[in-house]
Structure 1
Amino acid sequence: MRINETNRIGAINSYQRTNENNQAEEKKSRRKDEVSISREGMQMLQETNNTDRAQRISELKRQVSTGTYHVETGKLVEKLAPYFRSMVSDASEDNK
């Protein structure tokens, strides 16, 4: 009886080559994640880094904590009115 071990080695080598090729293809097909920030996002970032804004926020926090902060109702209404108007107009359009 003759046993030929070279056939087994050839099969193993073939498997290894196939495995190496598959790994190489996986590495090629992997993409790198990319992030891009819009102009608006960059503007928001700059605004948050603004020291004047930070000082204003700390002053408001101090006023709220000491109880000296007073809401200016006129300004509040000016800012909220367009929002509520748009909500009412959207609701009336949905009912049509």
Structure 2
Amino acid sequence: MRINEPNRVGMINAYNKTGNNQVGKSGKIPMGKDEVNISTEALEMQKQVEDVNSPQRREKVEQLKKQVEEGRYHVSSERIADKLLSFWKKL
């Protein structure tokens, strides 16, 4: 039974190549720049979080809470049906 292949040098060569970085005139190894790309979906999510924390949004939520507690908050059944229908069509 053979466990190690005698001619397998690929990993050794890959390891050896990592030490061959070119050193600049200053004696330092040149480094690449780090880069971050934020997707449009992530930007949308961030905007929604900011919108939720806005003072106008908080005021609206407080008004709705008060209406619900007092029993004055009513939504038409047609609006509920429209929202449910659009949700199920997306799936």
TM-score by length of 2: 0.46
Higher fraction of helix: 1
Larger radius of gyration: 1
TM-score by length of 1: 0.44
